[in-house]
């Protein structure tokens, strides 16, 4: 009997001791929450955060985590704030103020997709207060603006190459030509194929400026400077400037593009091409896409107005991309009309078909190849040879690229052209090879 009474008294003591400890701990917890609220109201966020860190045993308590998150976020510590508010929202999903703070924390941590998701929850939940919805919409606008700024990009590259051009002037291999009603003539060295070594310098620059989530403006420049060893009269600078507006509508991306391409030959402006293009790409799935483009433009030649023309061109094709392969097949139709009657013999129609393939051979090695064939028919007879002219052009090119690192690459390029014509003066073959190094930044 005495043992039973003693045992009951002992249990009662421990129960009272436990209740007293819990009561004291509860008082301490309430006191801590009051202190944190006071420090936050006084904007002493660092002190509040440090005090919270000392009482980590309360992690998981929603009220404590909420104050911890507020003090961390306002102290510039986005990661602890995210973790704290995630715990609050998990235990109390309808604590909308905490979810709003979670959106702010995600934005501060630059986790914009997660912030967008939480803001959408607040906006689309019928029970969330209007002031919370308004704040969430404001944060959503901030996120979209931040995403557009983050998507702005500017990249550029410089390439230096040394090469050999087997037919710099695209001259014929014939020694003589036969001109109707005049007889046979010996060709001058300037009209015959001539090879030379050259150095090439290339610059590329591209700037992308998003307008919103679906549209963007871009500017691009591509400039080539060729310096020949002996044939300085063929030294040239060819520059292309392009401005484009593009928009994504579901699976279709369309664009409008304006471009200008001046060509300087031996230091003087030789010709200028201007063009306007409208095009689109339809993405059937992750691998297969179809594209088309329509261009109009003019070509102005500084030295001979008979070479001036206006043109329009249509290009259609499809591309297929896998993890290691990219393939593209396209067809092109182009009409060039002379701007003056004396240049009608230079007016022509060009139709072509092209195939391109790029293969990732290894982590740092990439092989590309392209082949094309053009049918060129002139619209009026040649004034010297007194016949309509028809040419065919075969184009073959390949390149092997080795990436030293993300910025530096070395490339070997081979280009071959074979042109046949019913007028032998305009027939030629041309082989160009160069070794280059490029740096992107």
The whole-number pLDDT of residue 306 equals: 93
Residue found by looking up tokens 């591309």 in the block: 319
Identify the pLDDT of residue 3.
54
- Per residue of the chain (441 residues), what is the pLDDT tens digit? 565 644 554 455 444 444 344 445 566 788 888 888 989 999 999 999 998 888 878 888 999 999 999 999 999 999 999 999 999 999 999 999 999 999 999 989 888 888 888 998 899 988 888 898 899 898 888 877 777 666 788 899 999 999 999 999 988 888 788 888 777 778 777 778 899 999 999 999 999 998 877 899 999 999 999 999 999 999 999 999 999 999 999 899 999 999 999 999 999 999 999 999 999 999 999 899 999 999 999 999 998 999 999 999 999 999 999 988 999 999 999 999 999 999 999 999 999 999 999 999 988 999 999 999 999 999 999 988 889 899 999 999 999 999 999 999 999 999 999 999 999 889 999 999 999 999 999
Looking at residue 298, what is its pLDDT? 98
Are residues 115 and 160 part of one domain?
no
CATH number of the domain encompassing residue 224: 2.40.160.40
8 in any annotated domain? no
Strand-pair partners of 419: 393, 428
Q: Does 311 lie in the same domain as 203?
A: yes
In angstroms, the CA 164 to CA 415 distance is 11
The secondary element (H helix, E strand) that includes residue 424 is none
pLDDT score, position 21 = 42
| Whether residue 204 sits in one domain with residue 120 | no
Sign of torsion over alpha carbons 40, 46, 50, 52? positive
Q: Is residue 10 part of a domain?
A: no
Residue 3: inside a domain: no
> Domain for residue 403, yes or no?
yes
Choosing from 125, 149, 173, the residue where a domain stops is: 149
Whole-angstrom distance, CA of residue 400 vs CA of residue 359: 10
Q: Give 42's contacts (C-beta < 8 A, 6+ positions apart).
A: none
Residue 1 lies in a domain: no
**Residue 140 belongs to what domain range?**
17-149
Distance of alpha carbon 294 from alpha carbon 334, whole angstroms = 10
pLDDT of residue 232: 93
Looking at residue 17, its pLDDT comes to 42
Domain co-membership, 143 together with 187? no
Q: Are residues 74 and 163 in the same domain?
A: no
CB atoms within 10 A of CB 301: 19
Residues 294 and 362 in one domain: yes
Question: Are residue 88 and residue 102 in the same domain, yes or no?
Answer: yes
- pLDDT at position 8: 55
249 within some domain: yes
Are both 194 and 137 inside the same structural domain? Answer: no
Question: How many domains does the chain divide into?
Answer: 2
* Residue 125 near residue 92, CB atoms below 8 Å: no
Residue 250: what pLDDT? 86
Domain final residue pick, 149, 176, 191: 149
**Structural domain includes residue 379:** yes
Model pLDDT, residue 238: 97
- Rounded to the nearest 10 degrees, how much is the dihedral formed by the CA atoms of 204, 205, 211, 217? -50
The answer to whether 208 and 239 have CB atoms below 8 angstroms apart is: no
Three-point CA angle 237, 305, 386, nearest 5°: 115
Same domain, residue pair 131 and 176: no
Query: Domain check: are 143 and 248 in the same one?
Result: no
One domain, residues 137 and 170: no
Residues 179 and 163 reside in one and the same domain: yes
User: Residue 146 has what pLDDT?
Assistant: 74
Final residue before a domain boundary, out of 149, 167, 186: 149
Classify 22 as helix, strand or coil: helix
What is residue 153's predicted lDDT score, i.e. its pLDDT? 85
Q: What is the pLDDT of residue 58?
A: 86
Question: Is residue 11 domain-resident?
Answer: no
CATH number of residue 102's parent domain: 1.25.40.10
Which pLDDT does position 23 carry in this prediction? 43
Helix H, strand E, coil C: the string for 316-349 is EEEEEECCCEEEEEEEEEEEEEECCHHHHHHCEE
């Amino acid at each position: 009997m005495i043992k039973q009474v003693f045992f009951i008294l002992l249990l009662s003591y421990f129960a009272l001791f436990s209740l007293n400890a819990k009561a004291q701990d509860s008082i301490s917890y309430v006191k801590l929450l009051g202190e944190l609220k006071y420090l936050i109201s006084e904007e002493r966020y660092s002190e509040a955060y440090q005090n919270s860190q000392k009482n980590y045993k309360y992690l998981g308590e929603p009220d404590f985590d909420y104050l911890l998150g507020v003090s961390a976020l306002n102290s510039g510590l986005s990661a602890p704030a995210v973790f704290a508010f995630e715990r609050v929202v998990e235990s109390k999903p309808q604590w909308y103020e905490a979810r709003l703070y979670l959106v702010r924390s995600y934005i501060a941590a630059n986790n914009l997709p997660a912030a967008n998701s939480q803001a959408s929850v607040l906006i689309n939940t019928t029970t969330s207060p209007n002031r919370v919805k308004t704040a969430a919409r404001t944060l959503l606008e901030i996120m979209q603006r931040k995403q557009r700024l983050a998507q702005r990009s500017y990249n550029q590259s410089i390439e230096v190459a040394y090469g050999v051009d087997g037919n710099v002037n695209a001259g014929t291999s014939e020694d003589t030509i036969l001109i109707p009603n005049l007889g046979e003539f010996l060709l001058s060295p300037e009209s015959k194929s001539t090879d030379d070594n050259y150095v090439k310098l290339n610059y590329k620059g591209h700037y992308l400026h998003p307008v919103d989530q679906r549209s963007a403006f871009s500017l691009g420049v591509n400039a080539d400077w060729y310096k020949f060893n002996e044939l300085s009269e063929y030294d040239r600078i060819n520059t292309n400037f392009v401005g484009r507006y593009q928009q994504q509508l579901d699976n279709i991306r369309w664009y409008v593009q304006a471009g200008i391409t001046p060509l300087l030959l031996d230091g003087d402006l030789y010709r200028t091409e201007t063009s306007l293009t409208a095009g689109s790409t339809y993405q059937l799935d992750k691998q297969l896409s179809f594209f088309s483009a329509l261009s109009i433009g003019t070509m102005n030649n500084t030295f001979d107005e008979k070479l001036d023309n206006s043109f329009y061109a249509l290009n259609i094709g499809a591309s297929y991309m896998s993890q290691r392969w990219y393939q593209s097949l396209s067809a092109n139709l182009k009409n060039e009309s002379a701007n003056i009657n004396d240049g009608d013999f230079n007016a022509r129609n060009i139709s072509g078909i092209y195939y391109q393939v790029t293969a990732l051979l290894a982590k740092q090695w990439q092989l590309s190849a392209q082949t094309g064939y053009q049918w060129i028919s002139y619209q009026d007879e040649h004034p010297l040879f007194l016949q309509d002219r028809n040419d065919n052009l075969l184009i073959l090119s390949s390149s092997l690229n080795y990436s030293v690192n993300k910025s530096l690459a070395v490339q070997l390029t081979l280009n071959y052209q074979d042109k046949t014509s019913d007028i032998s003066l305009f027939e030629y073959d041309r082989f160009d090879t160069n070794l280059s190094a490029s740096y992107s930044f």
